[in-house]
Every structure is written in C-alpha cells, then in structure tokens.
Amino acid sequence: MTSAPGIVAVVLVAVATLAIGTWGLRVSRTTSDFLVASRSVGPRLNASAIGGEYLSAASFLGVAGLVLTFGSDMLWYPIGWTAGYLVLLALVAAPLRRSGAYTLPDFAEARFGSRRVRAVCSVLVVAIGLLYLYPQFQGAGLTLRSAVGAPTWVGPVVVGAVVLANVSSGGMRSITFVQAFQYWLKLWALLLPAAVLVAVWYADGRPGAAAPMPAEEWSAPLAPGGGPGLYVTYSLVVATFLGTMGLPHVVVRFYTNPDGRAARRTTLVVLALLGLFYLLPPVYGALGRAYAAELAASGRSDVLVLELPRLMVPGLLGEALTGLVTAGAFAAFLSTSSGLSIAVAGVLSQDVTGRAWRGRRLAGVTAFRVGAVVAVVVPLLMALAAPHVGVARAVGLAFAVAASTFCPLLLLGIWWRGLTDAGAIAGLAAGGLGSGAAVAMTLSAAAPAGWPTALLEQPAAWSVPLAFATMVGVSLATRSRVPAHTGRFMVRLHTPEALDLDRG
C-alpha cells in the first residue's frame, strides 16, 4: 500500500487550516471575536461555515459505509440531518438570533432568569459535545490508518493538536473562514472522485445495475424486522429532524448572524448546501455494493469512501483520488471537532474556567483557551479508551439526546409563555436521563434483536414526547413561577429588528 498521497493530503489540509486560521487571527482581538465573530458574518459565508462544521466524519465516511452494509434505510440519516435545518428554520432560527444570547445556557438564563436552568443546560451542552466529539476523533484514527498505515492513536492526536492550535489562537472569527473553506473542500473531495468512479462503472458495463434485485431488503428504506424496524426508522427520523436544533455547535453559529432575517437566510442556504453534499455519499455506498462488498462483510465499512477509488481505479489516478478523499475526510474531522470544541469551550469558559476560583478570575480570552484545552483533551482520551461503535451511529445517539433535551426547551421557550424554570429543569432531566440511559446501554452491550433493543437503540420516539410532556405538565403545575419578564422576552424574540423597540 502506497501512503504518499494520503500523507501529502493530510499535511496539505492541516497546513491550509492553520494558515487560514492564522489569517483570521489578524482580525480577532476581543472576546466577542472569539465567541461569536462579533456577529458580523454574512449569510453566504456563514452558511458555508455551518455546512463545513456540520458535515462531520459521520457524513463524509459513515453514511456511505452504512448504506453499503445496511442498505437504503440508512438514507434516513442524511435526510434527517438536512431536514433538521428546515425544522430549525421554521421554529427556531430567527427568534434564537434575536434572543441575543451567546450559547444555549445563555438563552436558558435569559428566558427563565434562573441560574439553575443555566447550570443544567451547561452540563447537557458539555455531555452532547463530548458524545459527538469522540467518534470524530476515532474516525480520524481510522482514516489515517487506512490512508497512511499509521497506528490508530496518531489520527486523534493530530486532529486534536490542529484543532487546539486554531481554536485557542483565533476563536470563532478565524474558525468561520476555516469552516467555509472546509465545506467546499469536502464537497469537491467527494464530487470529483464520484464522477470518475461512476464513469469507470459505466465503462465496466454497469455491474450490479441489471441484477434483478435479489437484495430487496437492501433496497427497502426501512430497518428490517417488521414492526420494530418501522419503529427504528421513525425514531431515527424524530431524532435527526428535531436533534439538529439542539446541537451545541449548530446553535452557537446562529449568534454570529447580524440579525434574525439573516439567520433565516443563512439557514436556507445551509439547506441547499447540505442537499447538494448528501447526493454524493449514497453513490459511494451503491458503487461499494458492486466493487467492495467484502468491506461490509469484514465490518470495515467506515473506510469505504477511502478505499473505493483505489479498488476501482488502479495506478496513479486511483492514488490521486485516494489523496483527495483522504483530504476531505481529514477536513471533516477538523471542522466538526473545531466547531464542537468552540461550543464546549465557550460554555466551559463562561460557567467553569471563567468563574472566580480561590479569589482569582481568569481573563475572558484565557478562560476560553483553558476551556478549549479541556474540550479537546477529554474526548481525545475517550476516543483512545472507548470502543468503536461506528461513526454515524455514535453521532446518531448524540442527536437523540439533543432532540430529547434542547429541542423541547427551545420550542416551548420560544413559542409558549407558560414554560417555567421548574418545568424546564424537569423536562431536561426526564429527556436527558431517558435518552442518556438508552445511549449508555447501547454503547455498553449488544442485545438481541426485537422490541427492547429497538427502544434502546433509537430512544427518540419515546424520550422526546416524554420530555415535552414533562415540561408542559410541570409548568402547568407551577404556573405561579412563570417569569415576570416573559412577555417582554417574547416581544424581543419575535419582532423584527427594524422595529425601534427597547429590547432590554
């Protein structure tokens, strides 16, 4: 196995990332630059950055591998990851921007005027962030092993080092440029090889296309197993459609828009960019069915995108394409890890490292840097220690937790005056503990197929309604605790900025 193109690709991406990050550093000076790029990012740049940040290893590698192994029911992952932005657009985007908060805990505190809700939200942001970060680091190890033959610990360490260098030096402002660059890199790194591979497939006489569909089950867009299969599919849909709005790195991006209208337009561009990208991974999955079926059999389907060019196109062209997809995959780890680290570091710096400690208080930017170190090192250690569960599946679990906690908090907090702090905490606890327990069970043990496994593997379909019901029920029971400023807060969330109101 030649490793030259892989090494070249990884080094180029790392250098480009650091260079763009350093360029951004020149314009990053204040804490506001660090956290929200001073809220001055236009819709197109911001949308590219959101796309770059959002398309993680799960999208770049995981979806194609899942499609290869399990078939077209896995197409629900990319659909849900895109449709999540439509739900976000319709219910959350503009009001969230208008709330004027930095992070999810900020939103919670502004809405309820309660430090306790804030603390619960902070814990959840960190938990979801870690659950999402560690498969990214594991995927990086996998990629470098496949591309370069390096031991699996090299990838996480390299990604962690680059992310840390960028995040702690330039913060959100420089990351915005890095992320936007990485979206387009990822798109081309998947598009060009796909075009060549499809051409090769035609030249080969389209193997697999004319087969009279012996693999009905592979083509059915449902998880197998009848009733539980249908449940798993719908639960996945619920988790991804509703989970997107609760992901810390997605939400933090909305605060960088100049106003609510720009937040909506940004989201619309994101929908288009994601739709474009997600046309590609299934192509790899389908081609892999004809050319690389043994990867699925040996349980290494996550490396399908990386191995397919080499398997289908011998010689120099194949090596060059391999280099390209490796670059894209590496960009995927870097961008998602950076975004999540920023989100987690932002929360940590506000609620932990920025607090006075033994009478001393770290300055804003220093607190952010310390938070960033924690946000990178902890998932790095988890990636090295925890078992490999499949990139897309682990990310799917993070979505389930986000859908069961922040989704009800945001939806009810934005659209219902009656939500109280007690209701919010009870709902976050019910949804978080319910989905969290299911995640822990899934990660720790493999159970036999059937209803119990289905319910644990995809908890969203029961944990999301549970969280909503708890929030509404407890809020109704504690009606006297509705914050006095709720009416004013609603005005701020829903009126256009052009209206000259005193926004508090």
Distance CA 149, CA 383 (A): 18
Q: Name the 3-class secondary structure at 362.
A: coil
Give the phi and the psi of residue 445 in degrees, each rounded to 5: -145, 150
Hey, how many other C-beta atoms are within 10 angstroms of the C-beta on 213?
7
- Nearest to other proteins of 282, 371 (CB atom): 282
- Nearest to other proteins of 388, 488 (CB atom): 488
In SS3 terms, 172-214 reads as HHHHHHHHHHHHHHHHHHHHHHHHHHHHHHHHCCCCCCCCCCC
Distance CA 13, CA 483 (A): 49
Q: Name the 3-class secondary structure at 360.
A: strand
Token representation of residue 489: 């807060």
Instruction: Compute the least distance from the CB of residue 398 to other proteins, in Å.
Output: 22
Token representation of residue 52: 């770059």
Helices in 26-75 by DSSP H: which ranges? 31-36, 43-54, 57, 63-70
- Nearest to other proteins of 238, 313 (CB atom): 238
Instruction: Compute the least distance from the CB of residue 292 to other proteins, in Å.
Output: 18
- Nearest to other proteins of 209, 440 (CB atom): 209
Instruction: Compute the least distance from the CB of residue 36 to other proteins, in Å.
Output: 8
- What is the amino acid identity at position 406? F
Give the phi and the psi of residue 418 in degrees, each rounded to 5: -80, -5
Instruction: Compute the least distance from the CB of residue 322 to other proteins, in Å.
Output: 24
Residues 6+ apart with CB under 8 A from 238: 403, 460, 461, 464
Instruction: Compute the least distance from the CB of residue 39 to other proteins, in Å.
Output: 5
User: CA 255, 130, 466: angle at the middle one, nearest 5?
Assistant: 80
- Nearest to other proteins of 237, 334 (CB atom): 237
Q: 357: which strand partners?
A: 360
Instruction: Compute the least distance from the CB of residue 116 to other proteins, in Å.
Output: 16
DSSP label at residue 38: G
- Nearest to other proteins of 52, 95 (CB atom): 95
Look at the block and give the residue holding tokens 């913060």.
171
- Nearest to other proteins of 319, 351 (CB atom): 351
Instruction: Compute the least distance from the CB of residue 465 to other proteins, in Å.
Output: 15
Instruction: Compute the least distance from the CB of residue 32 to other proteins, in Å.
Output: 4
Q: Answer for the pair 133, 340: CB distance below 8 angstroms, yes or no.
A: yes
Instruction: Compute the least distance from the CB of residue 149 to other proteins, in Å.
Output: 33
- Nearest to other proteins of 225, 373 (CB atom): 225
| Cβ-count burial 59-96 (b if 16+ within 10 Å, e if not) | bbbbbbbbbbbbbbbbbbbbbbbbbbbebbbebbbbbb
Look at the block and give the residue holding tokens 């029971």.
477
- Nearest to other proteins of 233, 337 (CB atom): 233
